[in-house]
C-alpha cells in the first residue's frame, strides 16, 4: 500500500496514512477511557437495519435481503445512517448511559469533508438534557486532545455557546424571530441564490452554510444551539420558548463536528414528525423509507435523555491539520467510486 502524504493549503504536510491510523487508535482509546470513566457503557447495534433515518437530505444504501430457504421473505434492508434508533431502544430498556463508536453509511456523500462510509461516536445520557451532553462532549474531546498531545484546539473548556438567532443576527443582520416570513427576501439582499419553490428551511440552510458556518469556532470550538422548532425531527421543543428546539451543533474552524439534542420522548409526536418527513421525501422524489415501529414504541418508554452524534473523522482532521477527510482514512471513497 502506498503511503499518501498530501501537501496542505497551509503549507504544512497532511499526515501520512500511518500517522493518521496511529492517531485514530489513540483517539478511540481516549474516548473509551473517558466515557467509561463517566459511567457510560459501550454497546454495539446492527449495521443492517429494516428502516434507516428519515432526514430529508440523507440517502441510505439499500441492501437486498434474499434468504436462501424462504424467498417469500425477501425484502429491502438498509445500511444504517446512524445507530440512533437502536440505541434509543436500549435506553428505553434501561441501559443507562451508553456510547458507541461505529461505521455509518450515507449514499452519495463525497467531498472534502464527506465520505459515504465514516466513523461516528454516538452517546446518550438518561436523566439529562442537551446542556449536560454538551459538557460531556467537550470534556471527551479535551481528553482526546490531551491524549494526542494536541490540546491547543479542544483543550480549552468550556467551549463557546451561541444561539442560532444570535449567530444569524451577528453574521447576516437577519433576526429570525422578526424576519422569518421575509427570510427569502432578506437572503436575496445578501446575494444568496433563492428559488421560488424554496421553503424556510432551504433558505435558512443556505444562509447558514454561506454566511454563518465559516465564522464558527475560529478562536475555540463553538456550540450553535436552539435551532428553529421546525428543524427538530428527533429533539424536544424548549419548554420556555416553543419557537426553538433543544438542539445543538458543535463547530470548530468553520466545520460541523457534532449534532445533538434533548431527546423527544413523546411517541405520538415522534410518529407525526417522521410521517411528515416521509411525505416530504415522496413529494421530492426521494425514497420514502418505512417507519421503524420498534423504535417508535420505544420512544414513549424512554427516560428524559440527551444525546449526540460526533463525526470522529472530522475531529481527527482538525487534530492533525488535514485538509481533506481522505487524508485520515486508509481506504477513502476514491478507492471504489
pLDDT at 176 exceeding the cut of 70: yes
Q: What is the pLDDT of residue 3?
A: 43
Distance CA 254, CA 250 (A): 10
pLDDT at 11 exceeding the cut of 70: no
Q: What is the pLDDT of residues 306-316, one digit of tens each?
A: 999 999 999 99
Q: What is the pLDDT of residues 127-163, one digit of tens each?
A: 999 999 999 999 999 999 999 999 888 988 999 999 9
Q: What is the pLDDT of residues 179-220, one digit of tens each?
A: 656 888 888 888 888 887 778 888 888 999 999 999 999 999
Closest alpha carbon to 28 in 221, 327, 335, 310: 310
Residue 271 and residue 264 in contact, taking contact as beta carbons nearer than 8 Å: no
DSSP character at residue 84 = H
Q: What long-range pairs does 182-186 form, CB within 8 A, spacing at least 24? A: 183/207
Q: What is the pLDDT of residues 251-271, one digit of tens each?
A: 999 999 999 999 999 999 999
Residue 125, classed as helix, strand or coil, is strand
Cβ neighbours around 283 below 10 Å, total: 9
240 contact partners, CB below 8 Å, separation of at least 6? none
Q: How far is CA 299 from the centre of its chain?
A: 20
pLDDT at 237 exceeding the cut of 70: yes
Q: What is the pLDDT of residues 280-327, one digit of tens each?
A: 999 989 999 999 999 999 999 999 999 999 999 999 999 999 999 999
Q: Is domain 25-159+220-313+330-335 annotated with CATH 3.40.50.720?
A: no
Closest alpha carbon to 161 in 237, 226, 82: 226
Report percent pLDDT > 90 for the chain: 76
Quote the cell numbers at residue 83. 445507530
Domain residue spans in the chain?
25-159+220-313+330-335
Q: What is the pLDDT of residue 180?
A: 59
Mean per-residue pLDDT over the chain, rounded: 91
Q: What is the band of 10 on the pLDDT scale with cuts at 50, 70, 90?
A: very low
Helices (H), ranges, the chain: 17-37, 84-92, 130-147, 151-154, 164-172, 176-179, 183-189, 200-207, 267-283, 293-299, 312-320
Amino acid at each position: 500500500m502506498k503511503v499518501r502524504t498530501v501537501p496542505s493549503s497551509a503549507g504544512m504536510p497532511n499526515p501520512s496514512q500511518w500517522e493518521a491510523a496511529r492517531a485514530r487508535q489513540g483517539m478511540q482509546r481516549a474516548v473509551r477511557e473517558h466515557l467509561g470513566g463517566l459511567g457510560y457503557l459501550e454497546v454495539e447495534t446492527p449495521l443492517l437495519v429494516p428502516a434507516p433515518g428519515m432526514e430529508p437530505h440523507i440517502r441510505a444504501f439499500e441492501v437486498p435481503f434474499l434468504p436462501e430457504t424462504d424467498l417469500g421473505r425477501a425484502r429491502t434492508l438498509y445500511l444504517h445512517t446512524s445507530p440512533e434508533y437502536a440505541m434509543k431502544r436500549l435506553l428505553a430498556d434501561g441501559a443507562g448511559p451508553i456510547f458507541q463508536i461505529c461505521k455509518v453509511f450515507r449514499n452519495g456523500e463525497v467531498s472534502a469533508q464527506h465520505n459515504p462510509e465514516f466513523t461516528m461516536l454516538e452517546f446518550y445520557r438518561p436523566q439529562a438534557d442537551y446542556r449536560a451532553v454538551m459538557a460531556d462532549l467537550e470534556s471527551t474531546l479535551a481528553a482526546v486532545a490531551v491524549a494526542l498531545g494536541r490540546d491547543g484546539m479542544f483543550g480549552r473548556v468550556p467551549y463557546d455557546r451561541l444561539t442560532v438567532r444570535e449567530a444569524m443576527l451577528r453574521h447576516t443582520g437577519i433576526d429570525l424571530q422578526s424576519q422569518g416570513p421575509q427570510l427569502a427576501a432578506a437572503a436575496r439582499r445578501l446575494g444568496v441564490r433563492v428559488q421560488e419553490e424554496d421553503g424556510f428551511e432551504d433558505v435558512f440552510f443556505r444562509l447558514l452554510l454561506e454566511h454563518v458556518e465559516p465564522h464558527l469556532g475560529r478562536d475555540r470550538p463553538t456550540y450553535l444551539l436552539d435551532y428553529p422548532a421546525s428543524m427538530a425531527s428527533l429533539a424536544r421543543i424548549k419548554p420556555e420558548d416553543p419557537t426553538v428546539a433543544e438542539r445543538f451543533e458543535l463547530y470548530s474552524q468553520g466545520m460541523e463536528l457534532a449534532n445533538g439534542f434533548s431527546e423527544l420522548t413523546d411517541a405520538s409526536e415522534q410518529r407525526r414528525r417522521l410521517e411528515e418527513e416521509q411525505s416530504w421525501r415522496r413529494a421530492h422524489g426521494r425514497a420514502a423509507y418505512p417507519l421503524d415501529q420498534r423504535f417508535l414504541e420505544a420512544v414513549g418508554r424512554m427516560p428524559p435523555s440527551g444525546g449526540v452524534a460526533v463525526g470522529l473523522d472530522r475531529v481527527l482532521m482538525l487534530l492533525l491539520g488535514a485538509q481533506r477527510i481522505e487524508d485520515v482514512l486508509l481506504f477513502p471513497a476514491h478507492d471504489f467510486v
